[in-house]
A and B are shown apart, each in its own frame.
Chain A
Amino acid sequence: TQLLEQSPQFLSIQEGENLTVYCNSSSVFSSLQWYRQEPGEGPVLLVTVVTGGEVKKLKRLTFQFGDARKDSSLHITAAQPGDTGLYLCAGVGTTDSWGKLQFGAGTQVVVTP
């Protein structure tokens, strides 16, 4: 089993501040995906990163895949209350990967006005 560790577990910030969420593993992944989940709903896909060192930007969100494809980060600039949610990273393994995502435990982000 390839484990993904997310940190921090919980993050509470004021509107306008920046934040970074980390997703680390000792294993190599084919790709990593980031999702945001709101209470009572399923996770919503934000981005997929595939190439080591890849950086993707989605408005105020910046995603980075580590050079060795073992870790990833999500940075939010000037956070807004609408960014509140559970952020999950999920890896596609290099083996035994049919239809299977390995999820981190998640980071609960709360942005207060």
Chain B
Amino acid sequence: KAGVTQTPRYLIKTRGQQVTLSCSPISGHRSVSWYQQTPGQGLQFLFEYFSETQRNKGNFPGRFSGRQFSNSRSEMNVSTLELGDSALYLCASSLAGGGSYNEQFFGPGTRLTVL
């Protein structure tokens, strides 16, 4: 079974631009979660989508948004990029996204650098 894929793997943008990252979950998984990983803050939860609906959201500004398509693929968008948005963005998929056995499987991440 193919794992979680993320595209692109690397991105370089300048301040003020916007960016869209893509995530394809494991086949059959309907929940997709997004995380931001930085050396200072570690892994921080951004949001989760299930059946095209956002069910949960972390403490990030409204510049961070996402969506999920009917095939469970997900995208996240960051508008008006700031230097502090430079990070590894990870998506993770799981079967249902809830409960004790909320086992999440991560993609390789997209490394975003904002200049």
A interface, CB within 8 angstroms of B: 30-31, 33, 35, 40-45, 48, 50, 88, 90, 92, 96-106
Contacts and interface: CB of A to CB of B under 8 A. Distances in A.
Contact of B100 (A30, A44, A90, A104): A30
Contacts of A90: 43
A101 B108 contact: no
A33 B103 contact: yes
13 contacts: A30-B99, A30-B100, A33-B104, A42-B4, A97-B98, A97-B102, A98-B31, A99-B48, A99-B98, A100-B48, A100-B56, A101-B45, A106-B42
A48 B108 CA distance: 20
Contacts of A104: 42
Nearest to A6: B42
Given A99-B31, A99-B55, A99-B104, 12 more contacts: A30-B102, A33-B104, A98-B55, A99-B33, A99-B94, A99-B97, A100-B45, A100-B58, A101-B43, A101-B45, A101-B104, A103-B44
